[in-house]
Amino acid sequence: MTDDERLARVALTRIVEPGDEVGGRWLRQYGALTTLQRLTTEDEPLPWVTPKRWEALRARADHIRPERDLEDAAAAGVRFLIPGDGEWPQQLDDLGDGRPVGLWVRGKANLRMWALRSVAVVGARACTEYGAHMAASLAADLAERGWVVVSGGAYGVDGAAHRGVLGVGGATVAVLACGVDRPYPRGHVQLIGRIAEQGLVVGELPPGEHPTPSRFIQRNRVIAALTRGTVVVEAAYRSGSLVTARAAQRLGRFAMGVPGPATSALSAGVHDLLRNDAVLVSDAAEVVELVGDMGELAPDRRGPVLPRDLLEPGARQVLAALPGRGSAAPGEIARGAGTTVDDAVGRLYELRALGYVERHGDSWKLTRQAMISVSPDRRSG
């Protein structure tokens, strides 16, 4: 890309809204220079827009100042990336005509390299303590496994995820819906400053621009496209984080959800997502098993090993055949275990030596030890 092309794209970030696919079609068909020239010098509209929309775009074009924007950005330690740059994350090209015109980046790391091994962790702004804990611990564990955690810098789950990564000295990226020199929300100015020092702050909007509801929605598509997968931690039915997860699915990325209480409205959106092709995850190992390289498998999930687990199958069958209360004769126990009386008697003596059963005359019964450690299912049922 030439310097003129870069300057034209800087100007277009003030004219074309993030995610505007009509603007993307102009860039693809005419290039940035011609598109900008038509917007600034010609009254005849470019294709695919109404006269009213063209007039609004022309009004914006009257106030562009690309050289000044680059100067302001440089003074704030911000650089501007465009497609074709060595640092441009090529996975953003999956957005097609909705691809960003360019990206404003604050921080020292290489965005392209970091995005190659990244996961998004997003969720509710008004999250519960459970949601904040799960987001922070999940993000911290991902960082310790060498993954970059991407989120939106917002209150709630986003902030908890960023803090979890920063707490373990990991790598995190905040994608903002405003100018990266003017962080939003204001209560996260210090947090986003820390992210810029230790990680990266990224946005599509030029210096000084403020967020709007539509810009938040469009920001989510960038989070989804940058990463290998999106994890949602707590989300109500109308949560913007679900937009990120669904964008990830459309782009062929993994969408994952951390379940919460069935009665929680803040988990209802996650549960609905899980019913529609998303994958349930509970920790970093399960996330990495999905988005990582072949062989990065989560460990098998097993409950604690109980003494009865160490018994041979035949002994376990005989033990299971004894009644929860009272005693039983060897013949009755043999029928319940599906074996012969002689085999049942032999197993009963083995179990007595281990303290599981005791003999009362011609019958056998469970000991107190067996009642506590072997038959909780019987007692709860």
Per-residue confidence (pLDDT) for residue 355, from 0 to 100: 85
Contact 174, 201 (CB under 8 A): yes
Contact 279, 254 (CB under 8 A): yes
Sign of the CA dihedral running 150, 151, 157, 159? positive
| 17 CB-near residues (< 8 Å, 6+ apart) | 23, 214, 215, 218
Please, which pLDDT band fits residue 297 given cuts at 50, 70 and 90?
low
> Could you tell me which of 221, 259, 261 has the C-alpha nearest to residue 241?
221
> Could you tell me which of 209, 217, 219, 260 has the C-alpha nearest to residue 239?
217
Of 62-66, 204-208, 352-356, 377-381, the least confident: 377-381
The 8-class DSSP code of residue 102 comes to -
Mean pLDDT throughout 112-116?
96
Q: DSSP letters along 24-46, please?
A: HHHHHHHHHHHHHHHHHH-SSPP
Residue 212 has pLDDT above 70, yes or no: yes
Distance CA 197, CA 108 (A): 8
Angle subtended at Cα 134 by Cα 132 and Cα 140, rounded to the nearest 5 degrees = 100
Of 66-80, 230-244, 279-293, 349-363, the least confident: 349-363
Per-residue confidence (pLDDT) for residue 300, from 0 to 100: 60
Distance CA 379, CA 58 (A): 77
Tally of residues, the chain: 381
Of 97-101, 286-290, 348-352, the least confident: 348-352
Please tell me whether residue 21 adopts helix, strand or coil conformation: helix
Per-residue confidence (pLDDT) for residue 340, from 0 to 100: 93
Please tell me whether residue 52 adopts helix, strand or coil conformation: helix
Per-residue confidence (pLDDT) for residue 306, from 0 to 100: 60
Please, which pLDDT band fits residue 376 given cuts at 50, 70 and 90?
very low
Average pLDDT of the residues of the chain: 91
Residue 318 has pLDDT above 70, yes or no: yes
Instruction: Estimate the crossing angle of helix 213-226 against helix 240-250, to 10 degrees.
Output: 40
Residue 379 has pLDDT above 50, yes or no: no
Sign of the CA dihedral running 81, 82, 85, 90? positive
> Could you tell me which of 187, 189, 184 has the C-alpha nearest to residue 203?
184
The 8-class DSSP code of residue 127 comes to -
Per-residue confidence (pLDDT) for residue 116, from 0 to 100: 95
Q: Residues 155-201: pLDDT tens digits?
A: 999 999 999 999 999 999 999 999 999 889 999 999 999 999 999 99
| Exposure on the CB side of residue 232, measured as CA atoms within 13 A | 37
Quote the longest CA-to-CA distance of the chain. Answer: 107
Residue 328: phi, psi to the nearest 5? -145, 150
| One-letter amino acid for residue 193 of the chain | G
| One-letter amino acid for residue 190 of the chain | Q
Total-model pTM: 0.80
Angle subtended at Cα 251 by Cα 128 and Cα 253, rounded to the nearest 5 degrees = 55
Please, which pLDDT band fits residue 307 given cuts at 50, 70 and 90?
low
Of 121-125, 175-179, 273-277, the least confident: 273-277
Mean pLDDT throughout 13-32?
96
Q: Could you tell me where the DSSP H helices lie in 94-250?
A: 111-115, 129-144, 157-167, 189-198, 213-226, 240-250
Of 93-107, 288-302, 330-344, the least confident: 288-302
Per-residue confidence (pLDDT) for residue 304, from 0 to 100: 60
Mean pLDDT throughout 332-341?
93
Contact 228, 117 (CB under 8 A): yes
Q: Is 338 left (phi over 0), alpha (psi -120 to 50) or beta?
A: left
Distance CA 217, CA 112 (A): 23
